[in-house]
Amino acid sequence: MLELKNVSKSFGSNVVLKDISLQIDTGEIVSILGPSGCGKTTLLNVILGLTDLTSGQIFFDGESLSNVPMKKRGFNIVFQDFALFPNLNAYENIVYGLRNNPQASTMQEVRDLIDLLDLEKHLNKRIDELSGGQKQRVAIARTLVMKPRLLLLDEPLSALDGMIKESIKARIKQIARQFNLTTVIVTHDPEEALSLSDKVLILNGGLISQYADPLSIVHKPANTFIKDFILRQLTIKRDNIFRLFNTEIAA
Closer residue to ligand ATP (CB): 23 or 41 = 41
Site for ligand ATP contains 100 (CB under 6 A) = no
E strands of 141-213, at which residues?
A: 150-154, 182-187, 199-204, 207-212
Which residue in 6, 25, 37, 61 binds ligand ATP (CB under 6 A)? 37
- C-alpha span between 214 and 118 (Å, rounded): 29
Closer residue to ligand ATP (CB): 42 or 136 = 42
- Residue 197 near residue 25 (C-beta atoms within 8 A): no
Listed ranges 31-39, 106-114, 177-185, 216-224: which one lies at the site for ligand ATP (CB under 6 A)? 31-39
Closer residue to ligand ATP (CB): 17 or 175 = 17
Site for ligand ATP contains 233 (CB under 6 A) = no
- Residue 121 near residue 138 (C-beta atoms within 8 A): no
Q: How do beta strands 75-78 and 207-212 pair?
A: unpaired
* Contacts of ligand ATP in 117-146 (CB under 6 A): none
Site for ligand ATP contains 188 (CB under 6 A) = yes
Site for ligand ATP contains 42 (CB under 6 A) = yes
Q: 61 vs 3, 50, 73, 247, CA distance in Å?
A: 8, 20, 11, 53
Which residues are bridge partners to 210 per DSSP? Answer: 202
Listed ranges 33-41, 91-99, 110-118, 223-231: which one lies at the site for ligand ATP (CB under 6 A)? 33-41
Site for ligand ATP contains 40 (CB under 6 A) = yes
Site for ligand ATP contains 46 (CB under 6 A) = no
Amino acid at 63: E
- Residue 123 near residue 134 (C-beta atoms within 8 A): no
